[in-house]
A and B are shown apart, each in its own frame.
Chain A
């Protein structure tokens, strides 16, 4: 494109020019792309506001109840010590000094008792009321966006065809694990499909988000009156709160692995496929030669 004078326009054009068979194929349809990015934004806001909410009572319990006096299995607290206050994080019977990050960290240059530090929370300052507002706003968006995705993915059979592992996939799990350890990414025809670990990860994150919504609803006293069986399903409100937190942690783990895989597999090609839908099929080096 001679008319595209500057480098930015050229880079944009070369990145987003349509890719046709046999070099590539149309991998992600518009609704999948759109819901993917809305979901990513929701997760960012839900995590940030969730950590701010968590700071109002930075302890986790198991069972029907849990409050001051009961023993948490996870806690982030500030303690006075002879050498000054310290932030301590407790997991089970282990305790770690996490001063400066967890339990006791700086806000506007001054230390304060705070579960998660201000650079992780939405809003950055401690504010349970507004963190809840952000949380519920994005929770509703997440739910409607997720339903749109699920209905479309089931109706178009995208879920059944591309995401649910086949019997052959299950047999290929050991091989796929070896490929992942060697950071070997599929090429040619194999790159037209998700590998089995990838399928399981995507299914897993759908399950995790569903659990997030259900455990979130289980913490609502209004919803408890509507669907009391959710309390039984998760073993009480405090267990539901802990599962909510554990699932959120697993989603963070998923996001980290997901982003690392995008970078390893070729970030421009991978990100383009989630923006325009077009995916260039990676070729084996020996085939290309």
Chain B
């Protein structure tokens, strides 16, 4: 009667419930455990692989009609970098603002806003999805990032474009505590950098991009969440890897626990 099968099943049932109970009781501890975070990282990689695998032919994000533009568009993160340098640029309508493109390129570039505006532009009405859950729809005008990277000439080892920003952001509470402030930056891989809808925007809703939305230049990466859309961009650094930059995770929020691939 008390055969091996019954005992095995009993062990399986008890073990399964004990394991599940332990998991439920330890969610806070596991969340703060750096080894367990590796599990999360693996899931993130899997999500990215799954989404990228389905994005045949670099599909476009949906573009909306002017009547869909939302009456409100919440600026988030930094509303104004507020540094003396930035204030002085803003006072001169960013006439002396320069965008630098350097790193693993054959031809480093320094471009003024006037020069960027003379390049071919793209205008798109797209949905902006914040990781917090809200959505706004706006019209963006700017220069395709791929065009700039082609002009700068990528070296064979180029893999990521890192966008350095003029704002220092104070983090919001996470993991039960306050987060450290830091210089905002973001990174995307070349597949996203050369996507036709990936632009450095200087225009918003038919007007010059305003300070709360990232004047004078703001990245648009339409198939990812809002925090990837770096504002106040002053430098594009082409790199082979981003492990040596700031916290090493490829972005301000990534250094604070968020996914590098923000397609979800």
Contacts and interface: CB of A to CB of B under 8 A. Distances in A.
A127 interface: yes
B2 A136 contact: no
B264 A222 contact: yes
Given A57-B130, A69-B72, A221-B129, A48 B9 contact: no
Contacts of A1: 1-2
B37 to A, nearest CB: 8
**Chain B interface residue count: which class?**
35 or more
Interface in B15-29: 16, 20, 23-24, 27-28
A23 B10 CA distance: 22
A140 B45 CA distance: 12
Nearest to B129: A221
B137 A225 contact: no
Given A129-B174, A222-B264, A225-B60, A66 B43 contact: no
Given A1-B2, A67-B72, A221 B222 contact: yes
Contacts of B127: 64-65, 221, 224, 237
A16 B39 CA distance: 36
A68 to B, nearest CB: 4
Contacts of A70: 70-72
B46 A226 contact: no
B176 A125 contact: yes
B176 A222 contact: no
A225 B24 contact: no
A124 B26 CA distance: 10
B1 A67 contact: no
22 contacts: A37-B16, A37-B20, A64-B70, A64-B137, A65-B68, A65-B70, A65-B127, A67-B70, A123-B31, A128-B258, A129-B258, A130-B257, A221-B127, A222-B264, A224-B127, A224-B223, A225-B60, A226-B55, A226-B59, A231-B62, A238-B134, A275-B13
**3 nearest CB pairs, A to B:** A222-B263, A69-B72, A129-B257
